[in-house]
Amino acid sequence: MAGLELLSDQGYRLDGRKATELRKVQARMGVFAQADGSAYLEQGNTKALAVVYGPHEIRGARSRALHDRAIINCQYSMATFSTAERKRRPHGDRKSTEMSLHLKQTFEAAVLTQLYPRSQIDIYVKILQSDGGNYSVCVNAATLAVIDAGIPMRDYVCACTVGFVDETSLADLCYAEESGGVSSLALSLLPRGGQIALVQMDARLHQDHLDTLIEAAMTACKGVSKVLDQVVRQHLQEGSTLRE
């Protein structure tokens, strides 16, 4: 795109951030009383709502039951008003199914499913406003919702989308950067152990740059995990003061 510099000479991006700076994260847990767990998370302009039900008996196809673990059922959808043009098909299209599958794989790595054999945990995420980094915001929102539901997890799951432009890694891409031809990589991490739950990339990147990009993603995820940690602790404290 002529005239739009993704990274200026002084090191500023389109929205005025530096290369490694994350967008502002605001989150709230326990938004819905009816669901077992729920959370609302904003990362810059991207807003997502996550709701968790479970663990409960397997609905529908009994044959899917696993005798030693719980199955995690994820559904990702975008609100019709979430993008610049009204979205015609909010769920059921290929992108949503792929995203749901990625979310499922991510959470299967983190949730201790062996404690709930033959049952099902449902995670529903809805994007209310989409401004880049959809997968990452979904994962972060869903982590908070799972913690709110009291489902045991090994660790938080934090995710971030990073891109590579002009020999620098940009952390937490916004929509303009994602569609501006940046090679973007989405990574979800279990921050304390440093274990990667999922890496997803469908752009072209020279293999020499891969290590730096993954390093940048892991640092960004650790930054996100600090914010999520604060949100959880604050929610716990509020819950206990209400009790007293």
Partner 1 sequence: MCVSGDKLCSVEDCILGTGVYLRHGYIYSSLAGYVLKKNEGEQLPVISVVRETEVQLLPDVGAIVTCKVTSINSRFAKVHILYVGSTPLKDLFRGTIRKEDVRATEKDKISLGDVQSNYLLTTAENELGVVVAHSDAGEPQMVPISWCEMQCPQTHTKEFRKVARVQPEYLEA
Q: b or e along 53-81 (b: 16 or more beta carbons within 10 Å of the residue's beta carbon)?
A: bbbeebeeeeeeeeeebbbbbbbbbbbee
When asked if residue 163 is in the footprint of partner 1 (CB under 8 A), the reply is: no
- State which residue, 179 or 237, has the beta carbon closest to partner 1: 237
Q: Are strands 158-165 and 168-171 parallel, antiparallel or unpaired?
A: antiparallel
Pick out residues in 192-221 that bind partner 1 (CB under 8 A).
Answer: 192-193
When asked if residue 153 is in the footprint of partner 1 (CB under 8 A), the reply is: yes
- State which residue, 15 or 229, has the beta carbon closest to partner 1: 229
Nearest-CA neighbor of 150 among 48, 55, 31, 41? Answer: 55
When asked if residue 236 is in the footprint of partner 1 (CB under 8 A), the reply is: yes
**How many Cα atoms are found within 13 Å in the side-chain-facing hemisphere of 206?**
7
- State which residue, 113 or 169, has the beta carbon closest to partner 1: 113
- State which residue, 70 or 99, has the beta carbon closest to partner 1: 70
The residue range among 5-13, 53-61, 83-91, 163-171 that interacts with partner 1, by the rule CB under 8 A, is 53-61
- State which residue, 93 or 229, has the beta carbon closest to partner 1: 229
**Element housing 137 (H / E):** helix 134-149
CB atoms within 10 A of CB 10: 6
Q: Are strands 119-129 and 71-78 parallel, antiparallel or unpaired?
A: parallel
When asked if residue 234 is in the footprint of partner 1 (CB under 8 A), the reply is: no
- Write the single-letter amino acid at 186: A
The residue range among 10-18, 122-130, 181-189, 230-238 that interacts with partner 1, by the rule CB under 8 A, is 230-238
- State which residue, 56 or 95, has the beta carbon closest to partner 1: 56
Minimum CB separation from partner 1 for residue 117, in Å?
8
When asked if residue 15 is in the footprint of partner 1 (CB under 8 A), the reply is: no
The residue range among 19-27, 57-65, 78-86, 123-131 that interacts with partner 1, by the rule CB under 8 A, is 57-65
- Total count of residues recorded for the chain: 244
Residue partners of 184: CB distance under 8 A and separation at least 6: 161, 162, 163, 173, 177, 178, 201, 203
Q: How many residues bind partner 1 (CB under 8 A)?
A: 34
Q: Do 161 and 133 touch, CB atoms closer than 8 A?
A: yes
When asked if residue 119 is in the footprint of partner 1 (CB under 8 A), the reply is: yes
Backbone conformation region of residue 167, classed left if phi is above 0, alpha if psi is from -120 to 50, else beta: left
| Interface residues toward partner 1, by CB under 8 A | 36, 54-58, 62-63, 65, 112, 116-119, 147, 150-156, 190-193, 229, 232-233, 236-237, 239-240, 243
